[in-house]
Structure 1
Amino acid sequence: MKLTILGTGNAIATRCYNTCFAVQDHGQTLLVDAGGGNAILKRLPAAGISINGIHTLFVTHKHIDHLLGVIWIIRVVTMNMLKGIYDGELTIYSHDEVTALLAYMSEHLLTGKQAALIGKRLHLVALKDGEGFTGAGHKITVFDIHSTKAKQFGFVMDLGGGQRLTCCGDEPCPQSAETLAAGSAWMLHEAFCRYSDRDIYKPYDKHHSTVKDACALAERLKVQNLILYHTEDDHLADRKALYKAEGRQYYSGRLEIPDDLEGFYIPSN
């Protein structure tokens, strides 16, 4: 299985793209979020991913840095459907607030012919806490992170052989999901900045973690591999070294601080 981090930045990042990623396995592609604009249309081909090969999309929540790129995906996919160059259907999974918002925006922003494809070849499926779907050939179970900012889902992907990949969403992993996340082979977790820079970036005011917080959590939950993203973008040139230097003080597993478009190969069944 290949995991490609398409964007690593926080909501107002301008030196890198907003956080989103793709999972490819079993000849299928799962896109998770799409960032905040049409730059997703450039990121996908840069990662070697065809938009016409995406048939499953999961949206964690409605914040613009995760949602607006989805509208561009919908626009291009429906346009390609009408041109006859997109085969099959696209299914977008999220919770009810996101699916309702995407339906409303599509109805008012797309052409009539494009909007008419929703419910026919483009499906908006609202999930509830604990429900699941299949993406990139793997069973995925969603969980509500109980955000106080906007309703938001994380998920756990079954990699087979008792291994799991956990995406904690856009905020710290909630205590209610720790049982699901514990022992994960891989965890994707936000880290707005280093703990040493907390007075500059004020991550706690935004309901975000620091590198120290995310790493201490992963160590406590015995996570084997940790990927940190959704960061500030002032330290891109030396972000890997700076974040790893702080993180290694609190986490003993494999720690990755990816750049945009960086990929990881993950064993799966």
Structure 2
Amino acid sequence: MRKLVILGTGFAMATKCFNTCFFLELEDGSLFLTDAGGGNGILRQLEVTGFDYQKCQHMFVTHGHTDHVLGVIWVIRKVADLMNKGKYEGQFHIYCHDVVREMLLKMTEMTLKKKDFARVGSDILIHEVKDGEAVELPQFRLTAFDILSTKAKQFGYCLQFADGMKFTCLGDEPYNEHDRAYAEQADWLLAEAFCQYKDREVFKPYEKNHSTVKEASELAELLRAKNLVLYHTEDKHLATRKQEYAAEARQYYQGNVFVPDDLDVIELG
């Protein structure tokens, strides 16, 4: 059974939940990590889930904003430390666009211990992927795509499994028509929804280049996605977010809606 394990659901400045990131647990037990939040809180989130670093040899980083990339440095440090202690076999691969790659290389060189940084480039490999480029991984085919952000270069991705399942991560900004082929008729569509439509004047999502639940749900209906996961939200309504966001989404979208809390596990089938 494939599972989506949500590590965090909040936007950059969230303090009541962790920043948005997650990992997939696949049938063979391997793990695929996406983003890592804004600090070493990622280590706690992974620990709580029972995350086995040895089973995670592939990771994707969408963009270089603090709430997505800084935690990656901690993941790299953790993996390097495990390697140095003989507790991690094989290589750890990170996939990202060129800007993020340069950021990670510079930050690891500046912040890691020499023996940990020595692993970068030999055992910890940071791969640049380009818009539309596909990478064949053991469990699926990953195709990266540029979401054409107006703020900072950002990539999403589409995972195509051998059994036909299509899993698409749109990043944390509104959908761009440039990426229709990767998102249309997805079995699972992961999209940001900063707040409810009724609260748009309070949270100003459009000023931040984000969507409301209404727009994200209309998009999922337009793209004929089967399942919609909404995340990267404000953190002022956590007690009622799951119910209220889902209720709004169902007004515009006919498929299955998931509004996870931090550490929720969603079975993908």
Q: Does 1:15 align with 2:13?
A: no
- 2:157–2:182 CA contact under 8 A, matched in 1: no
Residue 53 (1) aligns with residue 52 (2): no
How is 1:1-269 mapped onto 2 (pairs within 5 angstroms)?
1-25=2-26, 26-135=28-137, 137-267=139-269
Structure 1 counterpart SS, 2:16: coil
Taking a change above 3 Å as real, the CA distance of residues 136 and 254 of structure 1, as seen in their structure-2 partners, is: farther
CA contact (8 A) 1:139 1:158 kept: yes
CA offsets 1:125-153 (integer angstroms, 9 cap, x no match): 00100112245711110100000111000
Greater alpha carbon shift after TM alignment, 80-89 vs 96-105 = 80-89
CA contact (8 A) 1:166 1:181 kept: yes
Distance 2:137 2:234 in 1: 29
Give CA-to-partner distance per residue, 1:215-238, whole Å, 9 cap, x none: 000011111100000000000001
CA contact (8 A) 1:23 1:136 kept: no
Amino acid at match of 2:20: T
CA contact (8 A) 2:80 2:119 kept: yes
Which segments of 5 or more consecutive residues in structure 1 lack a partner in the other structure?
Answer: none
* AA of the residue aligned to 1:266: L
CA contact (8 A) 2:29 2:55 kept: no
Give the TM-score taking structure 2 as reference length: 0.97
2: distance between equivalents of 1:43 and 1:245? 28
Aligned length: 267
Q: Identity of paired residues, percent?
A: 49
Deviation at 1:163, TM superposition (A): 2.7
Displacement of 1:159:
2.6
Runs (4+) off by over 3 Å: none
Q: 2 CA distance for matches of 1:135 and 1:56?
A: 9
Structure 2 gaps, min length 5: none
Specify whether residues 220 and 154 from structure 1 end up closer, same or farther in structure 2 by C-alpha distance, changes over 3 A only: same
Which one-letter code corresponds to 2:4 in the other structure? L
1:52, CA displacement in angstroms?
A: 3.2
CA distance in 1, matches of 2:164, 2:111: 43
The 2-side partners of 1:202 and 1:10 are apart by 13
> Retained in 2: the 8 A contact 1:59–1:94?
yes
CA RMSD of aligned residues (A): 1.1
